Amino acid sequence: MSNDRPTSTHWADINADKIIREKGPKEHYTCASGITPSGTVHIGNFREIISVDLVVRALRDKGEKVRFIYSWDDYDVFRKVPRNMPQQELLETYLRKPITLVPDVLGDSESYAAANEKNLEELLPVVGVKPEYIYQAAKYRNSDYAEGIKTALEHRDVIRRQLNESRTSDLPDDWYPVSVFCNKCDRDTTKVTGWDGDYGVSYTCESCGNEETVDLRKTPGVKLPWRIDWPMRWAYEGVDFEPAGKDHHSEGGSFDTARKTSKEVYGHEAPVTFQYDFISIKGRGGKISSSTGEVISLADVLEVYTPEVTRFMFAGTRPNTEFAISFDLDVLKIYEDYDKCERTYFNKPDNDKALKKWEKQARIYELSQVDEVPETMSYQIQIRYLSTLLQIFSGNVDRVIEFLGDVKPDQVDRLKARAACAWNWVKNFAPDDFTFSLRAEDASPIEVSEVETKALKLLAEKIEAHMDSCDEKEFSTHVYDVARELEIESGDFFPVVYRALIGKDKGPRLINFLYIIGKDKLLKLLGKY
RNA sequence: GGGCCGUUAGCUCAGCUGGUAGAGCAACAGACUCUUAAUCUGUGGGUCAAAGGUUCGAACCCUUUACGGCUCACCA
């Protein structure tokens, strides 16, 4: 990648420029993201990760070196047992303990947190996101943050003042900027009773009555509350950029206080940031009940959208705009938008005015790719058509490719990935009108009237006589001739044909559909009348 | 109460660093003996929420107002 690319107006590039401008020249820039794995990581959380990834790419495209870190806040407290989990009674005994100690009741991972972490970590490379993971439980339990915690204790009064500025009720005088997991029972139901001015913190546990003084350099149990933890880590890792959800970006919100703490306590200017909006879900009602607490994860999205198209939705939308990920008919449109963007990319205009529009689309296309930008276009095929083909060939992609005939070798993998998504969509989300399956060749004939029998017979004859020698348009006249010769309305004729073929009154546009099914199969299906 | 975001064609929105208002859908007209929101061609359509300001020039920058949404103030 080169430094001399034209100025881009894509938001990722604008933010990259901003980072360089505000943080000055650096050997490398640190971009951070992170969430708590205290539940299934959902697609809304993914927006943060992908947003950082896009900015990271923009920085790298400018020739900068970037460290992309992803912090798992797995030393968070287990506050509530999720409704949709088994073994509720067992899980209840872990309340107030760090989530990294809660067992994985759904699988065989080390812990509840680890299970959630693993699910996402395995999937992120699929969409081209490869951060360096930081596990906060491990860092805290290893006392890596001992100095940061000590610094917070030393600036206890400053921090209290900063937090009080945006609180309705002031923190008490005996407040300490730390929280402690009891050494005996692992719960955070503790009260800090003193600090020796150095590394010693005393506490009593309200659950088990334990009372002791621990050394920050040795204890696994002391951590910082969120609003202090965040700026401490900015300083610890030297974070230059980290976006956050709208819940953080408000006066008095956590980014606001963290900014102050970062500067005054840790001597680190807050990172460049932006606010990203929420993601909503469309077209999944009925399938997944929201009342069960089930959330839509990246894995769910990837069932229906290819990695490129998934990236495309995020790269093509400004972060502070709310948008919906659809599972209904909008899926067709999203794929069409992506294909249009791709065609644009491969058809660079030669006049300046068109070039300006082209550059924006081209940038979105580049950022949508999982790895490097392909040298050739994908096989352009609408999901609508692809799903018809798949249904005729019972989901067998190889036969679809064989039928299409003109798929180039370097397009096969991408087409297969798209077909897998299309097939999932047809099976799980497509409206009933959209789905069909061809009747088996040995199925018993449907019940038809005398004139309908004649119609099907005559259609078979037309197919036998003309299908091979006509193009679709020409052949269509022969099909209409059937209705005309028997003096039945086409509105009555079509449903019979569909019933004989797929057992429904409606189906894909008939002429094209007949060609896809092919002469041999048609004659077998219609031959029994 | 504070903050953030939004208000552009009938609908959904683009328009990102000030330079002749755009797309998709809808509508309308035409074509096709044609049902997966069917396809193709063409047309019409906006006081850019309102008012004021800066500027040679404002949808875009500033101020105020109205309406809508979100968010913070307990925890993360």
β-partners of residue A35 are A72
Would you call A134 helix, strand, or coil by DSSP? strand
Shortest CA–C1' contact from A321: which nucleotide? B5
Report the C-alpha dihedral over residues A75, A81, A85, A89, rounded to 10 degrees: 110
Find the Å distance, CA of residue A246 to C1' of nucleotide B72. 10
What span, in angstroms and rounded, lies between the C-alpha atoms of A424 and A300?
10
The average confidence (pLDDT) of chain A is 87
Shortest CA–C1' contact from A169: which nucleotide? B73
pLDDT attached to residue A267? 95
Q: For the CA atoms of chain A, what is the radius of gyration?
A: 30
- Please enumerate, as own/partner, the contacts of A342-347 that have beta carbons within 8 Å and a separation of 24 or more: A342/A377, A342/A378, A342/A380, A343/A377, A343/A380, A345/A373, A346/A376, A346/A377
Tens-place pLDDT, residues A246-284 = 888 888 889 999 999 999 999 999 999 988 888 888 877
Find the Å distance, CA of residue A515 to C1' of nucleotide B24. 31
pLDDT attached to residue A7? 65
More confident residue, A446 or A17: A17
Shortest CA–C1' contact from A476: which nucleotide? B34
CA-wise closest residue to A378 among A410, A401, A332: A410
What span, in angstroms and rounded, lies between the C-alpha atoms of A5 and A329?
38
Neighbours of A171 (CB within 10 A): 15
What letter does residue A71 receive in the DSSP assignment? E
Neighbours of A4 (CB within 10 A): 5
Find the Å distance, CA of residue A496 to C1' of nucleotide B30. 32
More confident residue, A429 or A98: A98
Please determine, for residue A292, whether its predicted confidence score (pLDDT) is greater than 50: no
Averaged pLDDT, A297-306: 91
Find the Å distance, CA of residue A288 to C1' of nucleotide B6. 31
pLDDT attached to residue A3? 37
What letter does residue A244 receive in the DSSP assignment? E
pLDDT attached to residue A476? 80
Residue nearest to nucleotide B39 (CA to C1'): A509
Please determine, for residue A4, whether its predicted confidence score (pLDDT) is greater than 50: no
Helices (H) and strands (E) in chain A, counts: 21, 12
Residue nearest to nucleotide B72 (CA to C1'): A253
Find the Å distance, CA of residue A476 to C1' of nucleotide B40. 17
Shortest CA–C1' contact from A324: which nucleotide? B12
Please give the backbone phi and psi of residue A181, each rounded to the nearest 5 degrees, phi first: -90, 125
β-partners of residue A325 are A281
Find the Å distance, CA of residue A339 to C1' of nucleotide B20. 31
Find the Å distance, CA of residue A181 to C1' of nucleotide B74. 20
pLDDT band at A288; cut points 50, 70, 90 = very low
Averaged pLDDT, A507-522: 83
pLDDT band at A8; cut points 50, 70, 90 = confident
pLDDT attached to residue A436? 85
pLDDT band at A1; cut points 50, 70, 90 = very low
Averaged pLDDT, A338-343: 86
Tens-place pLDDT, residues A107-130 = 899 999 999 999 999 999 999 999
CA-wise closest residue to A265 among A158, A170, A174, A143: A158
State what percent of residues in chain A have pLDDT above 70. 96
Q: Which nucleotides of B are covered by protein (CB under 7 A)?
A: 1-6, 13-17, 24, 33-38, 70-76
Shortest CA–C1' contact from A10: which nucleotide? B16
Tens-place pLDDT, residues A142-160 = 999 999 999 999 999 999 9
Shortest CA–C1' contact from A252: which nucleotide? B72
Which residues, at least 6 apart from A5, have a Cβ–Cβ distance to it below 8 Å?
A61, A62
Find the Å distance, CA of residue A339 to C1' of nucleotide B35. 26
pLDDT band at A57; cut points 50, 70, 90 = very high
What span, in angstroms and rounded, lies between the C-alpha atoms of A492 and A512?
19
Where is average pLDDT lowest: A21-30, A53-62, A119-128, A312-321? A312-321
Q: What pTM value is reported for the model?
A: 0.91
Shortest CA–C1' contact from A473: which nucleotide? B34
Give the pairing of strands A29-35 and A190-195: unpaired
pLDDT band at A353; cut points 50, 70, 90 = low
Shortest CA–C1' contact from A504: which nucleotide? B36
Tens-place pLDDT, residues A202-213 = 999 999 999 999
Where is average pLDDT lowest: A350-359, A362-371, A429-438, A459-468? A350-359
3-state helix, strand, coil in chain A (%, to 5): 50, 10, 40
Please determine, for residue A444, whether its predicted confidence score (pLDDT) is greater than 80: no
Please determine, for residue A498, whether its predicted confidence score (pLDDT) is greater than 70: yes
pLDDT band at A286; cut points 50, 70, 90 = very low
Which residue in the block uniquely carries the two structure tokens 């067709």? A332
Find the Å distance, CA of residue A476 to C1' of nucleotide B33. 9
Would you call A93 helix, strand, or coil by DSSP? coil
Find the Å distance, CA of residue A11 to C1' of nucleotide B55. 27
Q: Does residue A319 contact residue A275 with C-beta atoms inside 8 Å?
A: yes
